[in-house]
Amino acid sequence: MTVGAEVTLHRPAKPGRAHGPWSVEAIQVLLDKPLMDLVYQAQTVHREQFPEGDIELATLLSVKTGGCPENCGYCPQSAEFDTGVKAQKLMEVDEVLRAAKAAQDAGATRFCMGAAWRAPKDRDVEKVAELIEAVKGLGLQTCATLGMLEPHQAQALKSAGLDYYNHNLDTAPEYYTDVVQTRQYQDRLDTLAAVRAAGINVCCGGIVGMGEEPVHRAGLIAQLANLEPYPESVPINSLVRVPGTPLADSEPIDAFEFVRMIAVARITMPRARVRLSAGRQQLGEAVQALCFMAGANSIFYGDKLLVTGNPDVEADVQLLRKLGLQARRTQQQLEEPCA
């Protein structure tokens, strides 16, 4: 295809299904468009699908930190890397419940629980199910990221009331072994299939700024957009370079290239919540504003993302206010009388 050529968009046959198949070449054409044209196209798609223009606030808590046997080159929780992160046990229900209530009081509508496991044991899933039931009781949407799952484990999480399961593809399949050697790309896809089969919504995205080439970024979007159906939530992370990890010296991604990733995620997955995730702290307000214009409508909200920093709550409140954006509210919040 010629750079700058128009890509015809076809509406999905039913909500949540892919336009696809999206070729890597077609996505690269989108990524190469003049930035203002690309953002305009993404904003047009965004307004068609999300006319209310709200921003989803999600909070992520590490319920079991450190000691992971995987060697993901970006992750400070790997037991192979000396990053100062100490292994901890799974948090108790009352601790998690306090954190979830605090997140809800701060405006979050989704509460995500992350555990540093390669793959949980059945007894681990039973304990996490208790956490899910407790958080669900507050009226929050629940999300978990626990590593690779077997089909029966996904079913158990569904029975506990889990709304979303996060399992990122990280990057394009051909670059994957440059980042992770302790598992295969197909392992990720198998877990996503188990989650889908259990009837749980999928939260799946990737990380940019890991030394990948532009074609790998296009390849990542192609993998996500061609999932059947594509994910309901798509977190786009900018690598947080943590000392002690193999990717600590990676060259940061250009801010406008990050905006392009947000825009193309919106165009290729029009009904998904596209989330600004890790690395948002380094973007600054102006770039975040461009990302919202390009179709981002979800953020991780709170002081930490697992073990790395995140803009604090008050800064986010002020930013949304400056931009005239409204936080998404749950039905329960909508029904509550104003104070």
- End-to-end Cα distance, the chain: 57
Least confident of 43-47, 127-131, 176-180: 176-180
Query: What does the pLDDT average to over 166-183?
Result: 92
| pLDDT tens digits for range 143-167 | 999 999 999 999 999 999 999 999 9
Q: Where are the domains of the chain?
A: 38-323
Identify whether 260 is a catalytic site residue: no
Residue 96 above 60 pLDDT? Answer: yes
Give me Rg for the CA atoms of the chain: 19
pTM, entire model: 0.86
Instruction: Choose the catalytic residue: 72, 183, 266, 273.
Output: 72
Strand partners, 237: 207
Query: What does the pLDDT average to over 218-239?
Result: 95
Sort residue 78 into left (φ over 0), alpha (ψ -120 to 50) or beta: beta
Instruction: Choose the catalytic residue: 110, 112, 291, 328.
Output: 112
Joined together, the tokens standing for residue 129 give 């199910």
Instruction: Choose the catalytic residue: 110, 143, 204, 328.
Output: 143
Identify whether 275 is a catalytic site residue: yes
pLDDT, position 83: 67
pLDDT, position 5: 35
Burial per residue of 91-125, b for 16 or more beta-carbon CB atoms within 10 angstroms, e otherwise: beeeebbebbeebbebbbbbbbbbbbbebbeeebb
pLDDT, position 269: 97
Distant-in-sequence, close-in-space partners of 64: CB < 8 Å, separation ≥ 6: 88, 89, 90, 91, 114, 115, 116, 117
Identify whether 204 is a catalytic site residue: no
Query: What does the pLDDT average to over 76-82?
Result: 67
Identify whether 291 is a catalytic site residue: no
Instruction: Choose the catalytic residue: 110, 183, 188, 203.
Output: 203
| pLDDT tens digits for range 5-42 | 333 333 333 334 445 589 999 999 999 999 999 999 99
Q: Omega before 246 cis (within 30°)? A: no
Least confident of 216-230, 269-283, 316-330: 316-330
Identify whether 72 is a catalytic site residue: yes
Identify whether 338 is a catalytic site residue: no
283 against 96, higher pLDDT? 96
| CATH architecture designation of domain 38-323 | Alpha-Beta Barrel (3.20)
What's phi and psi for 208, nearest 5 deg?
-120, 160
Instruction: Choose the catalytic residue: 183, 217, 273, 275.
Output: 275
Identify whether 68 is a catalytic site residue: yes
Distant-in-sequence, close-in-space partners of 173: CB < 8 Å, separation ≥ 6: 185, 219, 223
